[in-house]
Every structure is written in structure tokens, then in C-alpha cells.
Amino acid sequence: MDPVSRYVLAVDLGTSGVKVALITVEGRVAGWESEPVALHVVPDGGAEQRPNDWWEGLVAAAGRLLRSRPAAAREVAAVCCSTQGEGTVPVDREGRPLMDAIVWMDMRGAPALARQFRGAVNYSGFSVARIRRWIRLTGGMPSPTGKDPAAHMLLVRDAFPEVYERTYKFLNVLDYLNLRLTGRFVATYDSILTSWLTDNRHPDRIRYHDGLVRDCGIAADKLPEIVKCTEVLGPLTGEAAAALGLPATTPVVAGAIDNTAAAIGSGAVDDFATHLYIGTSSWLATHVPFKKTDIFTGIASVPCAVPGRWLLTALQATAGGNLTFLRDNVLYHRDELLTEERVPDVFKIFDRMAERVPAGSNGVIYTPWIYGERAPVDDRALRAGLYNLSLDTTREDIVRAFLEGVALNTRWLIKPVEKFLGRPVTAINLAGGGGQSAVWSQIFADTLGVEVRQVRDAIQANARGAAWIAAAGLGEIAFSDLPGLVGIEEVFEPQAANRGVYDERFAAFLEIHKRLRGLYRRLNRDAPASSPAPAGDRAAAAVAPTTRDADAGGGP
């Protein structure tokens, strides 16, 4: 069969909803549908979702998609998922959830984590000896905030002992969907990462480390089997096949957490090729041939989908989330001043407004630390701000300053990334919801001084990554094919005329941080233990990793 006619049913499950796409093995998006998923905030720092809501959302979106494209539905070669990470679902032997899923924002496990890993000499509440071992073996360590499975499992053990006793396996979000699809209890190389129990020193042989498992406080038999992202788990179960309307012979490939999938979907799979993902939060990521951790900037290379490689992931707390804040809390906040106005597609309007303003936003500077930052500094107290406003400042200036602020923040991050890589970054593939904006792409090129390649179907990078992981698992393509398969919408070169402006703005940006960081710490001393950066999943920070929901929805 002509490979162009073969499709993958690719699933992209974020915190806010699930998208399902039909994507050819060569990466063309034939169509997609989405379904929202509810988030339930519970007392004492808890955040949960119902696993069955994930499944029902997947089935509903897939049903509409496959019914609308019956010819493509007949050519589905595989099903593969990309999901939010850092969720925990305790399931029984029949695969039934024993409670709602504990998702990446949940901090209730922090006290249990501190009790489990405190020692004679501590840093961030953990034994220094344990930290050294975690970093040596895994590349990172549990988040002291309790926002990853290492803490979630201990929360279940201590706060829900009856659930713990009945738990057959603890599964991450990806693992649970794969269980529903195939009946297998497995974790992938990347979904298991933030349980912080694996020896990651060999990229093609990620396995549990006996010492880490022995010390974690969780019974070893409650941990799932670990498989590669490209492993074919088997065919759909009869129940799953009937729910999706696909043949029961349809294979399921293990897939990946969102960071891993986005790196694949961006096409930046060669050594040191870099992509920038702009969703609610943002990250720079690069596949590298070495495992390394920079404890000072919170950057590490960790397991991924590409054989023989690790993925450097350097994340920042909020990117497109700043534009969402501007939309929802300033321009279109629904209060007594605005009760009936219909909110338009403001992201396209923002683009048009920003295009009318020269580089430098007529002197206005925005710092996008809307609720702290992760890298290159880990500082929960930092906050966003607009600087150098005057009576001449327009709304257009402010909108462009928001876009430029995110780009300046990325420039702040790129230097430690280059130091980590041992070489300069000369080109970036831009993906995520923000990658749909041409004006933002040019701002990034000018601010960073590098070529920016706007990836086609940028908002579908996670789903396309899942499709290509499936295609590689089936032997349809090799990962080395992807740079030639990814579609580039447009290439943006740095404009020399703007270099001086952005150099000056960047110097001012750094000075704002230097002068105000102490003030922010005094003002926000009671801030939460970590920024709640809503983006999705896999933390690579070496000392205090956090998680993000990469689902950017329909906008940046």
C-alpha cells in the first residue's frame, strides 16, 4: 500500500481537553476533532481529573473524526497517544481506576515526600546524598512541591491507605490510555521518568534501579513494566475497537509524553537541532548524544523516543499564558464593566495590532513572569510587569510588548542552553499554538538572532509527534527521515535593522530582573511553592523540576 494513504489515529491529551487527529505516516494532518475535559480542584492543593473523562473524550472526538472521513478511517495503520505527564492513576488488577487521577498541579504529596526522603544533611527538604544519587542516575530529582508521581504515590499510600492496598499498578496518564486501548499495564521511557526510580544512563536501556525502588516507599510490584516509546503494545482490545469503530487488529504504539512528542513533531530530531514550543508555557528542546545535568539553571537531558539519544528540555513557566491573561483578565474580563460582549478570536487580532508597532514596542517592556519562572532561574516569587508606560502608550504597544517579552525571556534562556550544548543555536523550529503567528515568529528571529522556521500545522506538533512515533514503531519511517518530512510554513531571518533595538531591550530586561528580584521576593514571600505554570508534562529541571500543560488550545 502507498504509505501516503496510511494514517495514524493520533491522540493529544492535555489538561484542558483531548484532540484526536488523522495524520499520514508522512506527517500530513488530514483532520482533527477535540473534546474538553474537566479539571477538579480539591482542598489542600489538590487537582484531579476523572480517567473515564479522558477515555470518553477520546472516543467522542475520534468518533466524529472517523465518521467525517470514512475513506481515511479505513486506512488507519495504528493508534498512538501523546499526553500530559505527571499524572497518577492507581488501578486494580482489572484496570479500573480506584480514585480520580492525581494530575500534575496537585501538591498534596509534598509533606509525604519530605518525610520519605529527609536525611541528616538536606537541600530543598531532601537528603543531599539522595539528591546526588538521583541526579547521577536519573538526571533530575522529585519536585519538592509534590507535583509529580513520586509524591502522588506516597500521597495515596499515606492519605488513602485502602486505595493503596487495592492498587495493582500506578500508571501515568499515557499509561492509562494505553491500558484502555490494549489491556497492558506499561510505562514508557519518558512517562516513568518523574517517578524518579529509573537508571537513565543508557538511553536504550531505561530500567528500574533497585536502590531507588527500595528507598521510594512504594512496593515494587505496584510499578508497571517499562517499554520504549516506539514499542508496538499489541492490537486494540475488542472493547476499545468497538468504541473507536476500528478493526480489532489495529496495532497500538506506546507513544510519549507531550515534551517528547512535540520534539518529534517539530522535526528537530538530529543531534543539536533545536525546537521552541510556544503553548501556555514554553520550552527549548534539543536531542543530544549525552546525559547531562546543569543544577544551576535547571536544565537536563532525559530519556526520549529517539534511539540512542536524550532530550534536553529547558522550560519557562508562561509564554502564551501571558496573552491568555491579557485577554481574560484585562481586555475581556467578565465583570460589571463587561457582561455581554462576545470575545473574538483575539490572537489573530493581537497579530494585526502588533504588526502596526515598530520593533521595541515604542519603549514599552514586558516581563512575562506572570507567576514565577523555572529557567534560567528557578524563582517562584518573580512576577510580570509592564515598564516605561507613558500617556503616549497605546494598546497596540502593550500587545507587541507582551510578544516581545516572551521572546526576550527566551533569549535569556538560550545562553545556558548553548552552554549546555557546547555550541551556538543557529536555527529553531517553532511549534505549538504560538507557532501559528507570523509576526511572533519574526519577533523571535530578531530577538534571538537566529533563523526561525515556522512548522506547518504548528498546533498539531504533539499529535504529529505521536503519529511519527507510531510510524517509526511500525517500520514505515526512520526518525532520520523526519527533517525532510516536516513541513515548513515560512522561514524568518533576523532583520539586521532591529538587532540594536533588541540588544538594548534585552539589556534593560536583565536589569529589571536584577534590580527587582529582591523586591519580588519580599512582596511574594508567601507565594506557592512553585509556579503553577499550566503546560504538560515532563520535568527536566535538575533540582526542582516542575510540570506544564503543553495543550495550548486554539491560541498561542
pLDDT at position 152 = 98
Say what the alpha-carbon torsion angle 261, 263, 264, 270 is, to the nearest 10 degrees.
Answer: -150
Report CA-CA distances (Å) from 377 to 162, 311, 314, 366, 368.
40, 20, 11, 17, 13
pLDDT level of residue 377 (50, 70, 90 thresholds): confident
pLDDT for 539: 34
Query: Where does residue 361 fall: left (phi above 0), alpha (psi -120 to 50 degrees), or beta otherwise?
Result: left
Position 375 confidence tier, pLDDT thresholds 50, 70, 90: confident
- What is the pLDDT confidence band of residue 528, given thresholds at 50, 70 and 90? low
Peptide bond into 376 cis (omega under 30): yes
Phi and psi, residue 356, nearest 5°: -85, -5
Taking residues 477-486, what's their average pLDDT? Answer: 96
Distance from C-alpha of 466 to C-alpha of 463, rounded to nearest angstrom: 5
Contacts of 134 (CB under 8 A, 6+ apart): 140, 141, 142, 196, 212
Residue 464 has pLDDT above 80, yes or no: yes
Pick the CATH number of 267-523 from 3.30.420.40, 3.40.47.10, 3.40.50.1470, 3.10.20.90: 3.30.420.40
pLDDT at 412: 96
Assessment of whether the complete model's pTM goes beyond 0.85: yes
List Cβ neighbours of 324 (8 Å cut-off, separation of 6 or more). Answer: 280, 555
Question: pLDDT digit string (tens) for 396-420?
Answer: 999 999 999 999 999 999 999 999 9
pLDDT > 80? residue 262: yes
Task: Provide the phi-psi class of 407: left if phi over 0, else alpha when psi is between -120 and 50, else beta.
Answer: alpha
**Banded pLDDT at 271 (limits 50, 70, 90):** very high
How many Å apart are CA 340 and CA 106, to the nearest integer? 34
User: To the nearest whole percent, how much of the chain has pLDDT over 90?
Assistant: 79
Cell, residue 108: 498534596
Does residue 448 have a pLDDT over 60?
A: yes
Which residue ranges make up each domain of the chain? 267-523
Compute the distance between CA of residue 122 and CA of residue 128 in angstroms, rounded to an integer. Answer: 5
Closest CA to 552 of 104, 102, 17, 10: 17
Residue identified by cell 528540555 is: 313
Count, residues in the chain: 556
- Quick: pLDDT tens for 152-165: 999 999 999 999 99
C-alpha cell of residue 343: 470575545
The residue with greater pLDDT, 413 or 550, is: 413
Calpha distance 130→141 (Å, rounded): 9
Rounded distance between C-alpha atoms, residue 276 and residue 556, angstroms? 13
pLDDT band at 371 (very low <50, low <70, confident <90, very high): confident
